[in-house]
Amino acid sequence: MMNKFIEAQSHMVTRITQQILEERAFYLMYQPIINADKQILRLEALLRLNEKYSKKISLSHFIYTLEKNNKIFILTKFVIQNSFYKLNLWQKELNKKIHLSFNISSQDIAEPELFRTLYENCYQYHIDPFQITLEITETQCLKRNERFLSNFQRLLQAGFNLSLDDFGSGYSNSKVLDFFNFTNVKIDKSLIPKNAQQISKIHKLKKQVKLFKKNNINVTAEGIENNFCWDLCKKLDINLFQGFFISHPKTFKEITQILQSQ
């Protein structure tokens, strides 16, 4: 009986996922990533499901189902095309280079069409590869194969930035950093101390940031949720900052207004 229930649930999730894809029932929000001077240096493109489906399935479950069915690149292609288009509009409006980041899966990096899709959109929208950061998690790195490794190096050689995302949420294995030439590491919010009483967490963060700096890896702190987080991470000479204390994800129009006032 339980197996039949699980099977029915799985079929339902697959059906909803397919409906979302067919209807393109998703959109992008953008979260500012700032430096210590509170200047926006990068925007992270974040996918959201339309309200019609957001209560039926979680975003993480939707993405997991796409990966399981080898359809994740359909979504990634949407993110690339739409975010690059918006990036081009911002650049025309502000007459300056803006950097963009977004999440990518191991399937995407192994996808033969990824490199062409990135390059075509860079060319079409007058974007330099160095403006783009592809974020991949530790867990995704463990799913690597030969094509993944080859394309990873190809992306770096072409000038794209590759960031280890959510460091600390998974294996936190320094061997991942030794094996891959990441240009940036994003520290997961679970490693960011929220108050002065979290002494062991503070020491661990200091040690980790020191290691990254020693290896010339830029560091982004995710999950800056209060003034203590902000002050601590600035004192540790972390490069970039992201979190609700800085800004919630915003619409294209809201980001445009923020950039115009900067």
Domain ranges of the chain: 2-261
Give the per-residue pLDDT at 175.
Answer: 67
**105 token code pair:** 């899966």
Question: What is the C-alpha separation between 185 and 205, in angstroms, rounded?
Answer: 13
Residue with tokens 């987080």: 229
Q: Residues 57, 253, 115, CA angle at the centre, nearest 5°? A: 65
Q: Which residue has better confidence, 6 or 18? A: 18
Q: Rounded distance, CA 33 to CA 12, Å?
A: 37
Classify residue 240 by burial, with Cβ atoms within 10 Å: 0-12, 13-18, 19+.
Answer: buried
What pLDDT was estimated at residue 262?
A: 84
Highest mean pLDDT out of 42-46, 196-200, 210-214: 42-46
Question: What pTM did the predictor assign?
Answer: 0.92
Section 51-66 average pLDDT = 92
What's at 49, amino acid-wise?
A: L
Q: What's the fold here for domain 2-261? A: TIM Barrel (3.20.20)
Q: Which residues contact 46 (CB under 8 A, 6 or more apart)?
A: 28, 29, 30, 31, 102, 249
